[in-house]
Amino acid sequence: MDPQTTKFTIAIVIALIIGIGVGYGIGFGTIRPGVVTVTTTETETVTHYVTQTTPATIVTTLTTPTTIIQAPVTLVVIGPWAGAEMEAFTEVLKAFEREHPNIKVEYRIYRAEDLASVAPPQFAAKMAPGDVIFTAWGWWAKKMGDQGHLLDLSGLVSTDDFIKGIFDPVKSGGKIYGLPFTAWAKPGFWYRKSFFQKHGLEPPKTWDEFLTLLDKLKDILGGPPIVTGDGVGWPISDVTEHFIITFGGTDLQLKLINGEVKFTDPQARSVFEDYLVPLIKEGYFSEPIEWTRALELWWKGDYALYFMGTWITGMVEDPGDLGFFPLPGCKGVVMGTDYIIVPKYTEHKEEALLLAKWLATEGQKVHAGTKAGKFATWLKVSMEDHWKPMQEVFTKLKEMSPMPDLDDTVGGDWQKLFWDQLKLLWVEPGKLDQVLNTLTVNFPKE
């Protein structure tokens, strides 16, 4: 062998050794061992092979409240809440950590729309961005579950203990892919009681009174009285759905969701043409403004009315100054919940399921008592357990029928299209035909 070939061979061997060494090092540092030790209070030590544990056995384990997991574990929880909403949710996680000292929880913020983009490729690679994930999109949880990426959570809680129908969006073929957390509602236009008192204004009882109120407010403010929240688009869809439910009835909302009525049908069209579009054209709505900034402007008094969900109660300085009214004649209110899902690829299945179960039950009690502006879907949480301002809101909401959110239920690419087209309508109301046609043509066929 000549000296050059010898050097070449040595170089390759060294490269292989280094490569294998580095690869092994990475693997050693990142891949967890497949065995964890679990000890029960009966001092019996049981060794579980995580990779061999089936969901059924996990459920069985979890129904034994005496199970204590000895090895400290950190769970990653993904949720959409930031700012004041996150502070409220953090109280819930802290309460869990107090009850389960061996489990630490790390919270990460992902908006639902970002999660829907980021998670599927990770799921496809059999990875989980988090151990317990919150999403407001039941359709998405169901889709991921049907694709085999989520654990079946049926049997983890008693569905009878929850608000009726709350599991429907996440049920598929006898399996339940999500547990409900606390709920929110989008009940109507929020106003500051002090502002209304100062100007001698009253919430309207008829459509004409509503129009008169808008005129008065426009004169007082010298500009649009209703601030339009924006972001990726959902606040505009919320106010639109409120008009649909008010003037088309709860039946129309359901038929639009199911695709039984098209947006171009006279019944749906008239809601836009006779009620919503004239208000936009008259300049009663502001340009779309990022929703948290819109909240500040509205609270500051630049605008008088803001259509938003109940979580607004936890985002203002003085919730006692808050009042709301639905559009006169409205019989339904869009309500929804954040679903708790557990990816199949979590490395801490037992702990993740334990946390998911706790959040859906005891965690709701803690959350409902915070300034989150939510109410419990677990029926074992009493009215008195709720934060005081929410008790008043909840009492008012009892008079209205709960309705599913249109775009959250239809989901998929159409949801983004719906938001985008409504933004277009808001700035160019003359394009109503184009908007309704686009929504109809692109509505999911199945």
Partner 1 sequence: MKIGGSALNRFSFLIPGLILITIFVVYPIVATIILSFNINPIPGIDIIGGRSSGLENYYKVLSSPKFINSYGIKTMTFPMGAIIHNIIWIALHLPLTIILGLLLAVLFQHVRGGAIIRSFIFLGMVIPMIVGGLLIQFSFDKDLGVVNLFLKIIGLRWLAKSWTIYPDTALFSLILGSIWLWTGFSVTIYSAGLASIPREIIEAAIVDGADFKTILFKIIVPLLKPVTITVLAMTILWDLKIFDIVYASTQGGPGGASMVLALLMYDYFARVQNYPMAAAVAAILTVITLPVVIIWIKIATKGE
Q: Which is nearer to partner 1, 282 or 385 (CB)?
A: 282
| Chosen residue from 423, 429, 436, 439 binding partner 1 by CB under 8 A | 423
**Amino acid (one-letter) located at 327:** L
Q: Is 436 in the site for partner 1 (CB under 8 A)?
A: no
Q: Which is nearer to partner 1, 12 or 26 (CB)?
A: 12
Q: Is 362 in the site for partner 1 (CB under 8 A)?
A: no
Q: Which is nearer to partner 1, 223 or 320 (CB)?
A: 223
Q: In the beta sheet, which residues pair with residue 47? A: 37
Instruction: Give the C-alpha separation, 67 to 41, whole Å.
Output: 7
| Chosen residue from 6, 8, 82, 318 binding partner 1 by CB under 8 A | 8
**Footprint of partner 1 on 85-124 (CB under 8 A):** 116-118, 120-121, 124
| Chosen residue from 412, 437, 440, 443 binding partner 1 by CB under 8 A | 412
Write the binding mask 124 to 163 for partner 1: x where contact by CB under 8 A, - elsewhere: x---------------------------------------
Q: Is 435 in the site for partner 1 (CB under 8 A)?
A: yes
| Chosen residue from 55, 288, 314, 326 binding partner 1 by CB under 8 A | 288
Q: Is 287 in the site for partner 1 (CB under 8 A)?
A: yes
Nearest distance from residue 316's CB to partner 1, in Å?
21
| Chosen residue from 163, 211, 220, 424 binding partner 1 by CB under 8 A | 424
Write the binding mask 225 to 264 for partner 1: x where contact by CB under 8 A, - elsewhere: -----x-xx-------------------------------
Contact call for residues 370 and 388 (beta carbons, < 8 A):
no
**Footprint of partner 1 on 213-232 (CB under 8 A):** 230, 232
Which residues, other chains included, contact 355 with Cβ-Cβ below 8 Å and sequence gap of 6+? 75, 77, 96, 100, 103, 105, 131, 132
Number of residues that bind partner 1 (CB under 8 A): 33
| Chosen residue from 202, 215, 219, 413 binding partner 1 by CB under 8 A | 413
- The burial class, CB within 10 Å (0-12 / 13-18 / 19+), for 201 is middle
- Judged by the rule CB under 8 A, the positions of this chain that interact with partner 1 are 4-5, 7-8, 11-12, 15, 116-118, 120-121, 124, 230, 232-233, 287-289, 412-413, 416, 420-421, 423-424, 426-428, 431, 434-435, 438
